[in-house]
């Protein structure tokens, strides 16, 4: 599986942990462990600020290794999030990030050089690691910590019904970006239903002051992926989770009447010449516009709305005010079918272990807890957890707060990005290619569906 590329600006530069922090922690915390390199038992309880880590104590002097695709500066906040835990428990977490993570992880695992942990963003890659026989099932406390997540997340960290990997992060895709200032001046209200959204789109188009929608699916070798999100939103919002799951597993094919109808919903929305592509061009221009540039016309009043994920906030100019009364903000994309309760599409990353050593399990228990998720939120902007134990008041960024509320809603119909779940030959290859042809060439829907179905591995 291929991880959908994040725009470079998404990885925000964060301040390194001040050296003084380590000194303060050393003074405030007492880990009376006499453990050796192999991991000893604590001779006494942790004290002071470190007492909250007592459940993870007893392994001072040990080291665990962690491997992921997360690079600096984003990885800086990741390492900062466990700094106090590491100082107090004496467990050193040695982190390595790589642009070649997906390919090199498989090389390391099959070559007998697996890291203790890997942070895996694709359930498909997790399945490959489990198939290798090297992935290790988590301890009981990690399993218990999953009670703080929507149950469907556990299925994405499971292979053939067995749970292997606890989710760490989440991102919200079911958002529509708009200008609150422009809406207020025009007297427009944020739509609460799909019917309201379509009626507003028609109203904007008839007013003649810019087009209601803009979009772009250009993304280098990954061109087409934003269109897969539009289709996924239509499928989930029309039929709910069961049909969506069957579609991911190809029990429901792309040529099925339900998926064809969802494609027609997308066509009526994002291929309507009267509605798109505001400030950029016609329908075909969506295929040649990069997703990074797609929202720019909102700032000049030539376009009113853009459907894109929470990470799109990194694409706005630095002086853009983002918030409910700002230059831009976002609202939750409504369900196509009002009978579907709060559909939420997202993505995420999963912590997978390749060792069952006690210190590895201690780290695994901590990184699957609400306490760690809260620690990460405190040191990050642009990072969200779907852990329902995180105090939402910790989110200071308005988009992060909006995303967290949707992702942790226990009543939500949450599903993981379908193309990330499908085989790579489909979700990260033929579907991108065919949906691009759909926009760029006006290829007929039955042809698009048939080509994608034909790419499914036999």
> Please, are residues 394 and 401 in contact by the beta-carbon 8 Å criterion?
no
Considering the domain architecture, whether residues 363 and 262 belong to the same structural domain is answered as no
Residue 20: predicted pLDDT: 37
Tell me the CATH number at 317: 3.40.190.10
DSSP 42: B
Per residue in 64-76, pLDDT (tens digit) is: 999 998 888 788 9
Give me the residue label for tokens 């309760």: 341
Per residue in 419-432, pLDDT (tens digit) is: 989 987 899 899 99
Count of CB atoms within 10 A of residue 272's CB?
A: 17
Average pLDDT over residues 287-314: 95
Residue 258: predicted pLDDT: 98
Per residue in 30-43, pLDDT (tens digit) is: 443 333 333 333 44
Enter the pTM of the model.
0.78
DSSP string, 61-99: T-EEEEEES--TTHHHHHHHHTHHHHHHH--EEEEEE-T
Instruction: List Cβ neighbours of 20 (8 Å cut-off, separation of 6 or more).
Output: none
- Strand 117-120 vs strand 343-353: parallel, antiparallel, or unpaired? antiparallel
Considering the domain architecture, whether residues 377 and 336 belong to the same structural domain is answered as no
Average pLDDT over residues 447-451: 98
Residue 109: predicted pLDDT: 96
Domain membership flag for residue 287:
yes
Domain membership flag for residue 57:
yes
Count of CB atoms within 10 A of residue 107's CB?
A: 10
Domain membership flag for residue 3:
no
Alpha helices in 348-444 (DSSP H): 358-367, 370-379, 398-407, 418-421, 424-425, 431-440
Residue 38: predicted pLDDT: 34
Domain membership flag for residue 46:
yes
Domain membership flag for residue 2:
no
Give residue 52's region: left, alpha or beta (phi > 0; psi -120 to 50): alpha
Domain membership flag for residue 96:
yes
Residue 4 above 90 pLDDT? no
- Angstrom distance (rounded) from CA 110 to CA 132: 7
The H or E element that residue 47 is part of is strand 47-48
Considering the domain architecture, whether residues 119 and 225 belong to the same structural domain is answered as no
Average pLDDT over residues 180-191: 97
* φ/ψ of residue 287, rounded to 5: -70, -25
Domain membership flag for residue 242:
yes
- Angstrom distance (rounded) from CA 424 to CA 429: 6
- Strand 117-120 vs strand 63-68: parallel, antiparallel, or unpaired? parallel
Residue 217 above 90 pLDDT? yes
Give residue 133's region: left, alpha or beta (phi > 0; psi -120 to 50): left
Considering the domain architecture, whether residues 354 and 442 belong to the same structural domain is answered as no
Domain that holds residue 229: 175-345+415-454
Domain membership flag for residue 220:
yes
Residue (of 368, 362, 387, 347) closest to 173 by Cα position: 347
Considering the domain architecture, whether residues 390 and 400 belong to the same structural domain is answered as yes
Considering the domain architecture, whether residues 357 and 434 belong to the same structural domain is answered as no
Average pLDDT over residues 312-317: 88
Average pLDDT over residues 121-149: 94
Residue 9: predicted pLDDT: 34
Considering the domain architecture, whether residues 45 and 138 belong to the same structural domain is answered as yes
The H or E element that residue 158 is part of is strand 158-159
Helix, strand, coil percentages, rounded to 5, for the chain: 45, 15, 40
Instruction: List Cβ neighbours of 302 (8 Å cut-off, separation of 6 or more).
Output: 210, 211, 214, 278, 279
Considering the domain architecture, whether residues 14 and 92 belong to the same structural domain is answered as yes
- Angstrom distance (rounded) from CA 32 to CA 35: 9
Residue 190 above 80 pLDDT? yes
- Strand 211-213 vs strand 343-353: parallel, antiparallel, or unpaired? unpaired
Considering the domain architecture, whether residues 232 and 116 belong to the same structural domain is answered as no
What confidence category does residue 238 fall into, taking pLDDT thresholds of 50, 70 and 90? very high
Residue 10 above 80 pLDDT? no
Considering the domain architecture, whether residues 93 and 207 belong to the same structural domain is answered as no
What confidence category does residue 19 fall into, taking pLDDT thresholds of 50, 70 and 90? very low
Residue 16: predicted pLDDT: 35
Task: Please give the tally of structural domains in the chain.
Answer: 2
> Please, are residues 327 and 320 in contact by the beta-carbon 8 Å criterion?
yes
Which residue pairs, CB below 8 angstroms and at least 24 apart, start in 156-160? 156/123, 156/348, 156/350, 156/416, 156/421, 157/123, 157/126, 157/350, 159/126, 159/127, 159/130, 159/131, 160/130
Considering the domain architecture, whether residues 248 and 319 belong to the same structural domain is answered as yes
Considering the domain architecture, whether residues 51 and 21 belong to the same structural domain is answered as yes
């Amino acid at each position: 599986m291929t991880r959908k590329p994040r725009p470079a600006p998404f990885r925000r530069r964060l301040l390194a942990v001040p050296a003084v922090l380590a000194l303060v922690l050393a003074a405030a915390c007492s880990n009376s462990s006499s453990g050796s390199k192999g991991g000893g038992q604590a001779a006494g309880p942790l004290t002071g600020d470190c007492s909250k880590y007592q459940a993870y104590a007893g392994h001072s002097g040990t080291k665990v290794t962690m491997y992921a695709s997360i690079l600096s500066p984003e990885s800086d906040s990741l390492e900062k999030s466990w700094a106090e835990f590491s100082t107090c428990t004496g467990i050193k977490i040695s982190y390595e990030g790589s642009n070649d993570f997906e390919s090199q992880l498989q090389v390391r695992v099959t070559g007998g050089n697996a890291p203790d942990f890997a942070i895996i963003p694709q359930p498909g890659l997790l399945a490959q690691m489990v198939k290798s026989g090297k992935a290790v099932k988590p301890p009981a406390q990690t399993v218990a910590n999953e009670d703080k997540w929507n149950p469907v997340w556990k299925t994405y960290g499971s292979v053939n019904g067995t749970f292997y990997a606890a989710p760490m992060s989440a991102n919200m895709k079911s958002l529509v970006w708009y200008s609150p200032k422009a809406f207020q001046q025009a007297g427009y209200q944020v739509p609460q239903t799909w019917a309201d959204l379509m009626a507003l789109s028609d109203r904007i188009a008839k007013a003649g002051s810019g087009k209601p929608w803009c979009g772009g699916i250009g993304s280098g070798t990954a061109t087409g992926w934003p269109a897969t999100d539009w289709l996924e939103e239509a499928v989930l919002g029309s039929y709910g989770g069961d049909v969506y799951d069957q579609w991911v597993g190809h029990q429901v094919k792309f040529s099925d009447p339900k998926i064809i109808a969802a494609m027609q919903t997308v066509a009526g929305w994002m291929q309507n010449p009267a509605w798109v592509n505001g400030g950029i061009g016609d329908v075909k221009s969506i295929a040649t516009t990069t997703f990074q540039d797609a929202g720019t016309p909102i700032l000049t009043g030539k376009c009113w709305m853009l459907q894109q994920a929470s990470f799109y906030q990194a694409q706005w100019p630095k002086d853009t005010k983002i918030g409910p009364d700002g230059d831009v903000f976002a609202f939750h994309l409504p369900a196509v079918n009002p009978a579907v309760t709060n559909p939420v599409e997202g993505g995420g990353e999963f912590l997978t272990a390749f060792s069952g050593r006690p210190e590895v399990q201690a780290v695994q228990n901590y990184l699957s807890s609400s306490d760690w998720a809260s620690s990460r939120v405190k040191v990050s902007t642009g990072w969200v957890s779907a852990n329902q134990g995180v105090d939402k008041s910790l989110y200071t960024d308005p988009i992060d707060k909006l995303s967290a509320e949707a992702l942790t809603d226990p009543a939500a119909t949450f599903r993981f990005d379908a193309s990330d779940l499908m085989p790579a030959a489909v979700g990260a290859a033929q579907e991108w290619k065919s949906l691009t042809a759909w926009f760029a060439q006006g290829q007929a829907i039955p042809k698009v569906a048939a080509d994608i179905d034909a790419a499914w591995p036999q």
